[in-house]
Amino acid sequence: MLKKISKLIKPLKGKITISADKSISHRAVMFSSIAQGECIVRNFSSGADCHSTLNLFKGLGVSIEFLDDKTLKISSDGVLKVPNCVCDCGNSGTTMRLVSGILAGQDFNSVLVGDKSLSKRPMKRVIEPLSLMGANIESIDWHAPLKIFGTKLKGIDYNSKLASAQVKSCILLAGLNADGITSFTEPYVSRDHTERLFSYLGADIEAKNTTVTVKPSQLIAKDIDVVGDISSAAFFIVAGLIVKGSDFIIKNVGINPTRSGILDVVKRMGGGVEILNERVVSGEPCADLRIQYNDNLQGCVIEGSDIPRLIDELPVIAVLASQAEGETLVKNAEDLRNKESDRIKCLVNELSKIGIDIKETSDGFIVVGKNTLAQKPVKSELECYHDHRLAMSFFVAGLLCENEIAINGFEWTKISFPEFEELFAKLK
């Protein structure tokens, strides 16, 4: 699908409610499926990735029904059934990596598959620590499909070189059903949705500094309200900061400190984001955000412990940096190369086409700001490389382009954010 975008003349105004958090939606279904009892999950994500998780657990014998388009009723005795076919993860790396931790300790065998894109993404990062726990997993050069031969696992103390919520969650999920205590240590604290939801559902879990420890536990089902996704809100935050005269409110945004790095970066750059109506919903901090245009943004350095807290937002942050004074340097973000695309290379290639002064480095990129975008007609289309976050970032850039741009493959936004264009339309 080819999407054409013209410069936005009018400011963004009004109120929107952001779509459900994808990371929490995945976990709500997974954890409720291995919990005992019945629960209601409200505000479930409509994204294709989360539906891959939902369908996978239906195939494992869990009773899941929609009460309406965003409300689920999940009933489980905490015991998964032998799947009657392969477990299809679609395009979802979260599904494959987290579910591998659940299935490795079952008393049956299973196979995890994914689409062409997911089959290229690295799985060594979960296979290796699971193997140390006693798991028996076969792969093709550390890639899907994953053949998992269920067995009894043992707890481990694992030190990860990578700060990764997916790897951490995989090992903690395996630890729920392992003999002994399981601990996971990472160089920086990655997003902690698993820890929060584990605690909410009664797991014996403790987090201290960069180490999380879990003891064998049976989760008990409780109703879960999913907060809005700050990674989805990020596109609107950036748009509001760079489209002249904009002033609007985004309601129901999760502001978990392990996810809210973009708010810290915006503040560092001098942007105006006001946090309103702070509250806690099913263990997750939440608020409404007021976004106001700012024509005095300043470049900054984004590195180290910043990165796990905003890894998914870096493509649209590059767009923000293009309108800031001076240089913005992104470091220690080499894992961007292992997403749906090589997000560093692809981002630099495509944003350069519309006049953004951006250069690739081995572990990130450099943007020199105050760029006028698409001053001349863009001769080639911007490719999104089957990557939803690139597609949406290019859309935001298009709001400032002097000449019309076209994005090839815009349909990939449906993976995580089907309501993306509809919500933008509400602010025009």
Q: Give 147-175 pLDDT, tens digit per residue.
A: 999 999 999 999 999 899 999 999 999 99
Note the pLDDT of residue 428: 80
Give the count of beta carbons closer than 10 Å to the beta carbon of residue 97: 25
Q: Phi, psi (5° rounding) for residue 232?
A: -75, -40
**Of the CATH numbers 3.90.550.10, 3.65.10.10, 3.40.50.300, 3.40.50.850, which one belongs to the domain with range 2-20+227-426?**
3.65.10.10
Note the pLDDT of residue 296: 94
Cβ contacts of 208 within 8 Å, gap of 6 or more:
none
Gap between the Cα atoms of 384 and 365, Å rounded = 18
Every domain of the chain with CATH number 3.65.10.10 lies at 2-20+227-426, 22-225
Per DSSP bridges, beta strands 405-408 and 382-383 are: parallel
What confidence tens digit (pLDDT) does each residue in 228-248 have? Answer: 999 999 999 999 999 999 999
17 within 8 A of 251, measured Cβ to Cβ: yes
What confidence tens digit (pLDDT) does each residue in 311-364 have? Answer: 999 999 999 999 999 999 999 999 999 888 999 999 999 999 999 999 999 999
Question: Pick the catalytic residue: 312, 357, 363, 387?
Answer: 312
Note the pLDDT of residue 96: 98
Gap between the Cα atoms of 317 and 292, Å rounded = 16
What confidence tens digit (pLDDT) does each residue in 90-100 have? Answer: 999 999 999 99
Note the pLDDT of residue 262: 97
Cβ contacts of 189 within 8 Å, gap of 6 or more:
163, 209, 210, 258, 305, 308
Gap between the Cα atoms of 161 and 41, Å rounded = 34
**Exposed, middle or buried: residue 292 (CB in 10 Å: 0-12, 13-18, 19+)?**
middle
Does the predicted model carry a pTM greater than 0.75?
yes
How many CA atoms lie less than 13 Å away from 136 in the CB half-sphere? 9
Class of domain 22-225: alpha beta
Note the pLDDT of residue 1: 80
Gap between the Cα atoms of 96 and 139, Å rounded = 13
* Structure token digits, residue 27: 């976990």
Task: Tell me the pLDDT of the chain (428 aa) as tens digits.
Answer: 899 998 998 999 999 999 999 999 999 999 999 999 999 999 999 989 999 999 999 999 999 999 999 999 999 999 999 998 999 999 999 999 999 999 999 999 999 999 999 999 999 999 999 999 999 999 999 999 999 999 999 999 999 998 999 999 999 999 999 999 999 999 999 999 999 999 999 999 999 999 999 999 999 999 999 999 999 999 999 999 999 999 999 999 999 999 999 999 999 999 979 999 999 999 999 999 999 999 999 999 999 999 999 999 999 999 999 999 999 999 999 999 988 899 999 999 999 999 999 999 999 999 999 999 999 999 899 999 999 999 999 999 999 999 999 999 999 998 778 899 999 999 98
312 assigned to active site: yes
Q: Which amino acid is at 167?
A: V
**Lateral strand order in the sheet of 157-159:** 157-159, 182-185, 211-214, 205-208
